[in-house]
Amino acid sequence: MSAVPRLVVAAPSSGSGKTTVATGLMAAFTGRGLTVSPHKVGPDYIDAGYHALAVSGSGPVVRPGRNLDAYLCGPELVAPLFAHGAAGCDLAVVEGVMGLYDGAAGQGELASTAHVAKLLRAPVVLVVDASSQSRSVAALVHGFVGFDPDVRVGGVILNKVGSDRHEALLREALDDCGVPVLGVLRRSDGVGTPSRHLGLVPVAERQADAVAATRALAEHVRAGCDLDALLALARSAPPLDAPAWDPSDAVGGGPVTDARPVVAVAGGSAFTFSYAEQTELLRAAGADVVTFDPLRDDGLPPRTAALVVGGGFPEVYAPELSANDELRRAVAALAHSGAPVAAECAGLLYLARSLDGRQMCGVLDADARMTERLTLGYREAVAIGDSSIAEAGTRTRGHEFHRTVLEPGAGPYPAWGLVRPERRMEGFVRRGVHASYLHTHWAATPEFATRFVRRAAAAAGGA
């Protein structure tokens, strides 16, 4: 059972300022000496990186930002994953996704911020972009409060307020709503983070600037919000009757091998997308997980028996990745040896023959290029054949998020057959390689980790 005080930061729509407020609150409460657990509703990796930075202060990141996704993991895992991430903390701040009631397309409330707030029994703070309204704010807040009586909207933070007069009009309009105003944030060009084709620029690409940005957000929120009232609201959340998720239990109670095979995980600026639970599951299953940076390291870690290359921005770093000939050859040699390799999205592009005309690892007979079209959305998939992570017929859920295309989009032995919302073959299985655009959350399928580590142990010659 988790009794960690908690808040969900939501908004009527995207662009209202959820990330500004949530990240600022995390940093402000951390600055007060509280141990804050950061969370993000939905599949977004980038916001979670800023959250981790916000709760680390100026020191090394010791508590990762964690995602709570009722679509990828199922509603039943949301509370246990939260309890796992928030264990021992003084406060948890959960940033929502899109508008408060926006969920997976065509599936009602599933995976919406409101859905997750109900699963966590957490009060909601509604962040309203007030820049183009005054009295109408009352109608907006009234509608969001009354839409679902099981969602407890405990307060409002007014964002992008223009002046003292504007603030007075907004407060007067909200007096009769019964929802307290817990913060007023003025319009400011001095806070925020740069964006590009897939959203915010990740922390790993702008570490020093990101530290300065989180400090500015903390001061902005500290100056405009009633932190004491927000903490009191968080402490009003009832105990959460959910056992904490445990990676050792998830993989069957302990390591599946005594060999401790080395699983190399790509990191650095080009490969920043991963869920913390994936590494935790690999370690619980018996692997030694070692991170390396394909932009800086000219070889794989010593004794590498398996490779994980997750998501990120290889298109931004294609010249540097291509120039690292030694590492590309090492990756290709490992893949051709039959060792298990799991690649998602950016990893898929890195294993391709080329990316925007730049030579990549050449493991897959496919070429990738950037386009103007964004591919985005949840997917349901089934494994077409056996691979290093899944048995044929295994069903899973994933998320696509990219502006690249791969030609061809699937090999002779596809990784997945997508079954919803569209039907098509996707990805590649070749020897030990499983490569796909699909981002998956292994907490929902811990057997992926056990199967992968067993294959890694076999590749290393262990039992």
Choose among 318, 327, 321: nearest CA to 404: 318
Q: Which domains does the chain have, with CATH numbers?
A: 6-235 (3.40.50.300), 248-459 (3.40.50.880)
**Percent of residues in the chain assigned helix, strand, coil, to nearest 5:** 30, 25, 40
Contact 173, 138 (CB under 8 A): yes
| pLDDT of 461 higher than 90 | no
Contact 155, 233 (CB under 8 A): yes
Say which of 73, 89, 225, 345 is annotated catalytic: 345
What per-residue confidence (pLDDT) applies to 45? 85
The length of the chain is: 463
| pLDDT of 194 higher than 80 | no
pLDDT digits over 93-126, tens only? 999 999 999 999 899 999 999 999 999 999 999 9
The mean pLDDT value for 456-460 works out to 96
Residue 285's alpha-carbon distances to 447, 452, 459, in angstroms, are 10, 9, 15
What per-residue confidence (pLDDT) applies to 196? 38
408 upstream amide cis, omega within 30 of 0: yes
Residue 378: burial class (beta carbons within 10 Å; 0-12, 13-18, 19+): buried
Contact 388, 263 (CB under 8 A): no
pTM, two decimal places: 0.94
Tokens of 395: 């069903």
For residues 113 and 78, give the distance between their C-alpha atoms in angstroms, rounded to a whole number.
12
> Can you spell out the DSSP letters for 240-301?
B--PPP-HHHHTTSS-S-SS--EEEEE-STT--B--HHHHHHHHHTT-EEEEE-TTT-SSPP
What per-residue confidence (pLDDT) applies to 49? 86
For residues 49 and 205, give the distance between their C-alpha atoms in angstroms, rounded to a whole number.
11
Residues 6 or more apart whose CB falls under 8 angstroms from that of 457 comprise 256, 257, 259, 261, 286, 305, 463
Choose among 333, 364, 381: nearest CA to 434: 364
Q: Respond yes or no: is residue 361 known to be catalytic.
A: no
Phi/psi-derived region of residue 452, left when phi > 0, alpha when psi is between -120 and 50, beta in every other case: alpha
| pLDDT of 190 higher than 70 | no
Mean pLDDT of the chain: 93
pLDDT digits over 370-405, tens only? 999 999 999 999 999 999 999 999 999 999 999 999
pLDDT digits over 149-181, tens only? 999 999 999 999 999 999 999 999 999 888 999
pLDDT band at 197; cut points 50, 70, 90: very low
Question: What is the number of other CB atoms lying within 10 angstroms of the CB of residue 146?
Answer: 11
Minimum mean pLDDT range among 18-32, 69-83, 195-209 = 195-209
CA dihedral 182, 83, 276, 192 (to 10 degrees): 0
SS3 341: strand
Choose among 308, 312, 369: nearest CA to 346: 312
Choose among 274, 253, 337: nearest CA to 300: 337
